[in-house]
Amino acid sequence: MMTDDPGSSPRFNEFGQPIGHELRDWRAPPFPPHRALEGRYCRIEPLNAARHARELHAAHGEDHTGKRWTYLFQEPFREFQAFESWCRDAEASRDPQYYCIVDAHTGKAAGSCSYLRIEPRHGVLEIGHINFSPALARTRAATEAMFLLMQNAFDLGFRRYEWKCDSCNLPSRAAATRLGFSFEGLFRQAIVYKGRNRDTAWYAIVDGDWHRGLRDAHLRWLAPANFDADGRQKQRLSELTAPFLARE
């Protein structure tokens, strides 16, 4: 149910103070069920160490430089045993709630991500801990994975879907905008990790954006008709999502 109402008239309480618009039919969504999500190019599965750890470790091992780990909280896992242990911990975690991204073409695990900071009482959650292997990055499967998790959140009734990243992580910031997340500001000196400062860039999509056309923009981009015989996109996703970015 869409709860955003940006066109409503300003409201004031009995003291003449401005207040937010009323959420007459608001009901807190359930905590996200940890379930599989099916797409055309990928499948989202609850992360399972026994099923996914070996394939994920091999997929991430294709990043021979380790540069894809620069903005993650972990360092590259050179030894499988250490990565398997991390997967077991992730599998048992409730928040963050971890998922594995399985490439539909190969049938193999190719990346992971999670819902986190899950607050059903406010209708808010975040997508994060995104770790795409080199084979998954910049593919239709990668974009569809983000779409499936986004769609799931709004279908459950969440009002706000967040994306946060290190302000220095320019690829992540570009990805957020491409997907339709609106930039909301910079939280200076928000985190210390890997012995360095992180200023955190905040982005979000709200349900009004989603239901008024952002969902359809993603579906138009993901449609097979948007790609030529060589797999090249005909229309960029950023062009389709641009009208839904909030402007100051």
CA distances from 41 to 37, 38, 144 (A): 11, 9, 7
Pseudo-torsion of CA 167, 168, 172, 177, nearest 10°?
Answer: 50
Sequential DSSP letters for 98-128 = EEEEEETTT-SEEEEEEEEEEETTTTEEEEE
Whether pLDDT at 29 is above 60: yes
Per-residue pLDDT band for 9 (boundaries 50, 70, 90) equals confident
Q: In the 8-state DSSP scheme, what is residue 227? A: B
Taking the CB of residue 114, how many other CB atoms lie within 10 A of it?
22
Tens of pLDDT, residue by residue over 210-237, are 999 999 999 999 999 999 999 999 999 9
Mean pLDDT of 38-50: 98
User: Is the CATH number 3.40.630.30 carried by domain 32-244?
Assistant: yes
Query: In the chain, what are the domain boundaries?
Result: 32-244
Tens of pLDDT, residue by residue over 96-149, are 999 999 999 999 999 999 999 999 999 999 999 999 999 999 999 999 999 999
Whether pLDDT at 177 is above 80: yes
